[in-house]
Structure 1
Amino acid sequence: MAVFVLSKHKRPLMPCSEKRARLLLQRGRAVVHKRYPFTVRLKDRVGGDTQPLRLKLDPGSQTTGLAVVREADNGQHVLCLFELVHRGFQIKKALQQRASFRRRRRSQNLRHRAPRFDNRTKPKGWLAPSLQHRVDTVMAWVDRLCKLAPITALDQELVRFDTQKLANPEIIGIEYQQGTLLGYEVREYLLEKWGRECAYCGATDTPLEVEHIVARSRGGSNRVSNLTLSCHGCNTEKDRQPLADFFATSKGLKKRLKKCGHTAEARLERVQCQQQRPLRDASAVNATRWALFNALKATGLPVAVGTGGRTKYNRQRLGIPKTHALDAACVGPLDALHDWQVPTLTIKATGRGSYQRTRLDKFGFRRGVLMRQKQVHGFQTGDMVNAIVPTGKKIGTHTGRVAVRKTGSFNIQTENGVVDGVSYKYCTIIQRGDGYGYHLLPSTNLKGEAGQAVA
């Protein structure tokens, strides 16, 4: 994984290899500027030549992939891979808990904050806090990486699939309708719509085939609303039968449904209901992507966009395994991708604490009181520390995220689990808490798993 390099005046220079960074540190020409992501700052250099770098993004509901690549004549070379894990679920849960507290105070005539829903208006483009958090977190890391590397352009997977072209394949012309990429767009959309299982029998972990709900011989079209996914057995047995007749007469289908614990009537109703789902559901899923796209344009850098179908097409064509970070590296037009077998830095959004000074049990009653000071002996929860314990049950070196206690006996979250009861006297600050937790995933087994992941 490349190491970010800053000049003497903290200007971004071209990233270097780990070996070169190690030599610069040993010779005293550089100092460690930041541990995660690892960045060094040169002491004797002000500027230098740079090459065009692109920052690619693959937005996701729970995890967003980021990749820094270098553009060259023979393709693109991966320098760094990141996976940003969001905390939207925790934000939603906290807001629901706060709403329940206020509701109870109002109903019990206790001291309360007056309801304000009547005098609040939502501005245009408003997103729920759990969704806005994802946009803000991604933009925070885009800004951070632009300060660490000379980023010249951005690539974003704007939508999972182009719903307008799916609804009307001839919107651009026959070239798109018969192109190689169309099959990937349609299949990716159907996988998302039908839950990656056979629509008829509910079978999973089996190859799925694109199937016409109303057969072409009975007047069915190739529009995506008439397509579904089925296993080979259901596809063969259904043939050109109407949907209701297939569920009523097929003995093989009923046998498979019995194994999965489903009934023919329930599955038929599900298929008919799912078939009528409008295409605008996909646009609702991609709501935050448009907000992110507008935020990326505001940076002033050129922004190129692509679809999830193109990303999957690039990844499978080049034989690259599926991860969030590697999906980001495959976003947009891509001829070749080199040096993608690098470690991935997982960045987990943890927040910066809470104003709440107590904890609650499962019944909503107060359980204990938290300390009011944020720092203990110069440490605070979220700091990355290195603890060298010379004696006792916790003997050894422990590196990870610390959780402080008033007594000075801390817990350290390491890669191998939690080490509790470590005295502050043995701890040394590596990096101050910035609201994120970091974990480096090695790349040694990516190449071996490539064939299985792609298949």
Structure 2
Amino acid sequence: MAVFVLDRRKKPLMPCAERRARLLLARGRARVHRVVPLTIRLVDRLQEDSTLQPLRLKMDPGSQTTGMALVREPDTTDTTREDTIRALTVLMLLEIQHRGPSIHEALTQRSSHRRFRRGRLRHRPARFDNRTKPEGWLAPSLQHRVDTTMAWVDRLCRWAPVAALSQELVRFDTQQMQNPEISGVAYQHGTLAGYEVREYLLEKWARTCAYCGAHNTPLEIDHIHPKSQGGSDRVSNLTIACHDCNQRKGSQDVAVFLAKRPETLQRIRAQAPAPLRDAAAVNSTRWALYQRLKATGLEVEVASGGRTKWNRHRLHLPKTHSLDAVCVGSVDTIHNAQQPVLTIKATGRGSDQRTRLTKHGFPRGYLTRSKSAFGFQTGDLVKAVVTSGKKAGRYFGRVAIRATGSFNIQTATGLVQGIAHRFCILIQRADGYGYALTKRAFDTGEAGTGAAYAAALSLPGMNPGVSRANG
């Protein structure tokens, strides 16, 4: 995983390898600017004295998770060569976990509490017609996805010399799926033929056989109403089935094939015409995100989900959000794709509520007005070195404070309770996000323990940048 590098004026330089970052810190040529993601600042270099290579930030927006990838592109300044291979070198993989569902639940709970209080305590006339929404308005849970993605685009552009952006604008080309002949036979026999429909059906039917529920097995496209009996190729008439079920069904209509299983038949008939789950959220935010990306002034490349899947299959990459981001747009080859993934979870900055509420929305207890204790705030990244007692050891993670001075630390391996504040060292202030380093195998998705974070804390030059908070 690359390390971000800034010059002495905090302008971005080319990212470097972890080994080089350690040497720069050990020789006193750099200081730790930020721990997660690791960013160093050179004390003897300016951006004008450095050579910058073209970097591109790719993203695969999703309903729950957005994948990002920072890649280095080949030098295309040589216009004499027309056969330049677009070989991308992956510098960093990131996955942003949105908190849209929690925002939706909080707003729903607040609405129900308000409705209960108004109905029981006092009557107020309806006011839903008194407010108008501006053009382009998005629900808070959807607007959060756009804002969070743009916040990290801005951060990465401040830490690295990003020259271009890539976005998966359309998850599925629904127009092509509804009318396959809209662009003629050339589209049907091109390199992307069928990928839009296949990926759509796999997502819609949760990658399981619609008839027997089998998963982790090769799946085939099946016509619910057989094509030999006049069935169409529209996605509302398509499903996925394992090889055995597809062979047993043959050219039968689904009503005949599932005559003895009415529950399964009813489920398939109800799910077939329904749109893909979470597709509405992605479709509502994709254009808003695209307009925000264009406003940055950088070149924006857009592509469809079908092309992303085609690139992933051609390059034999596993399906993850971050590797999907690498495969967005035009790609020929990829280097250095097997590396840890930085998972960024949006946690928010706490609540402004000053009371605990009952199930009916009435206050039942008051909270302290101070959000800090002994120099710490909930969400800060800390390192705790406990020298004796039952909790002896070294811990690194996000802290949850108490006014008593007995803190809880959420580490990569679990929650550690009852750590005294005097053992805690502040590493990084809370910024509304939780971080975890996932070390994935290339084909298994195996998770690690975040040991790289602990290794980062021992970098030379780290200790002068932190301070012990003793209250």
Q: TM-score, normalised by structure 1?
A: 0.89
- The residue aligned with 1:6 is 6
1:33 — aligned with what? Answer: 33
CA contact (8 A) 2:188 2:194 kept: no
Mapping 1:345-364, distance limit 5 Å = 345-360=342-357
1:50 counterpart (46, 49, 52): 52
SS at match of 1:12: coil
Contact 1:387 1:426 in 2 (8 A): yes
Q: Does 1:215 align with 2:226?
A: yes
Identify if the C-alpha distance between structure 1 residues 372 and 283 changes in structure 2 by more than 3 Å, giving closer, same or farther: closer
Matches within 5 A, 1:67-146: 67-72=69-74, 73=85, 75-109=87-121, 116-146=127-157
Report the AA paired with residue 449 of structure 1: T
Q: For residue 296 of structure 1, give the secondary structure of its aligned residue in structure 2.
A: helix
Per-residue CA distance 1:181-229 (angstroms, 9 max, x = gap):
1222111111233333323344434322111223333233333333221
Q: 2:444 aligns to what?
A: 449
One-letter amino acid of the counterpart of residue 405, structure 2: G
Cα distance, 1:57 vs structure 2: 0.5
Q: Name 2:217's counterpart in structure 1.
A: 206
| Corresponding residue SS for 1:31 | strand
Residue from 235, 247, 251 that aligns with 2:246: 235
- 1:150, distance to aligned residue in structure 2 (A): 0.5
Give the secondary-structure state (helix, strand or coil) at the position aligned to 2:264.
helix
For 1:380-419, what per-residue CA distance to the aligned partner results, in whole angstroms no more than 9, with x for missing partners? 1111111111221111111111111111221111112111
What CA distance in whole angstroms lies between the structure 1 residues aligned with 2:231 and 2:113?
54
Any conservation in 1 of the 2:86–2:331 contact (CA below 8 Å)? Answer: no
* C-alpha contact (below 8 Å) 1:163/1:282 kept by paired residues: no
Gaps of 5+ in 1: 249-253, 255-263
CA distance in 1, matches of 2:402, 2:212: 54
Q: 1:218–1:383: structure 2 CA closer, same or farther, 3 Å change rule? A: same
**Contact kept in structure 1, 2:12 and 2:159, CA below 8 Å:** yes
* 2:185 aligned residue (166, 174, 181): 174
- Which range moved further: 180-189 or 269-278? 269-278
Taking the aligned partners of 2:93 and 2:5, their CA distance within structure 1 comes to 16
Distance 1:109 1:17 in 2: 63
2:462 is aligned to: none
1:386 matched to 2:383? The reply is yes
SS at match of 2:324: helix
Aligned to 2:23: 23
CA distance in 2, matches of 1:285, 1:40: 35
Contact 1:85 1:347 in 2 (8 A): yes
**Quick one: which of 181, 206, 226 aligns to 1:195?**
206
| Counterpart contact for 1:157–1:305, Cα < 8 Å | yes
SS of the counterpart of 1:181? coil
1:376 maps onto 2:373 in alignment: yes
The structural deviation recorded for 1:450 is 7.7
Instruction: Quote the offset at 1:326 in angstroms.
Output: 1.2
Q: Which amino acid aligns with 1:45?
A: R
**Matches of 2:26 and 2:416, distance apart in 1:** 32
How many angstroms apart in 1 are the aligned matches of 2:145 and 2:168? 15
- The CA distance in 1 between the partners of 2:424 and 2:43, in whole Å, is 28
Once the two structures are TM-superposed, the CA of residue 49 in structure 1 deviates from its matched residue by 1.2
Decide whether aligned partners of structure 1 residues 196 and 321 sit closer, same or farther in structure 2, where only a CA change above 3 A counts: closer
- Measured at CA, do residues 116 and 59 of structure 1 come closer, stay the same or move farther in structure 2, by a change above 3 Å? same
Matched residue of 2:301: which SS? strand
The amino acid across from 2:336 in the alignment is D
- Cα 1:226–1:403 change in 2 (3 A) is same
| Greater per-residue helix proportion | 1
Per the TM alignment, residue 323 of structure 1 is displaced from its structure 2 partner at its CA by 1.5
Output the aligned Cα RMSD. Answer: 2.3
1:383 maps to a residue whose letter is D
Once the two structures are TM-superposed, the CA of residue 432 in structure 1 deviates from its matched residue by 0.7
- TM-superposed deviation, 1:114: 8.2
**Match of residue 320, structure 2, among 314, 319, 323:** 323
Aligned to 2:432: 435
- Tell me if structure 1 keeps the 8 A contact 2:5–2:39: yes
CA contact (8 A) 1:319 1:450 kept: no
| Greater displacement, 361-370 / 198-207 | 361-370
Q: 1:298 corresponds to which residue?
A: 295
- Superposed, 1:159-170 pairs within 5 Å as 159-170=170-181
Alpha-carbon offset, residue 233 of structure 1: 2.4
Distance 1:129 1:434 in 2: 20
Q: Share of identical aligned residues, percent?
A: 63
**C-alpha separation in 2, matches of 1:442 and 1:197:** 27
**Deviation at residue 13 of structure 1 after TM alignment:** 0.6
Q: How far is 1:94 from its partner? A: 1.1
Q: Give the Cα–Cα distance (whole angstroms) in 2 for the partners of residues 107 and 279 of structure 1.
A: 37
The alpha-carbon distance between structure 1 residues 236 and 95, as it changes in their structure 2 partners (threshold 3 A), is: same
1:410 equivalent to 2:410? Answer no
Letter in 1 for 2:96: L
Instruction: Compute the TM-score of the two structures, normalised by the length of structure 2.
Output: 0.86
| Aligned twin of 1:259 | none
When residues 244 and 416 of structure 1 are mapped into structure 2, their CA distance, relative to the original with a 3 A threshold, is: closer
Q: Deviations over 1:75-96 (max 9, x none)?
A: 0000001111111111111111
Give the 3 Å change call, closer, same or farther, for CA 314–413 of structure 1 in structure 2: same
The one-letter code sitting in structure 2 at the alignment partner of 1:58 is D
Could you tell me how far 1:281 is from its partner in structure 2? 9.0
Q: How many residue pairs were aligned?
A: 434
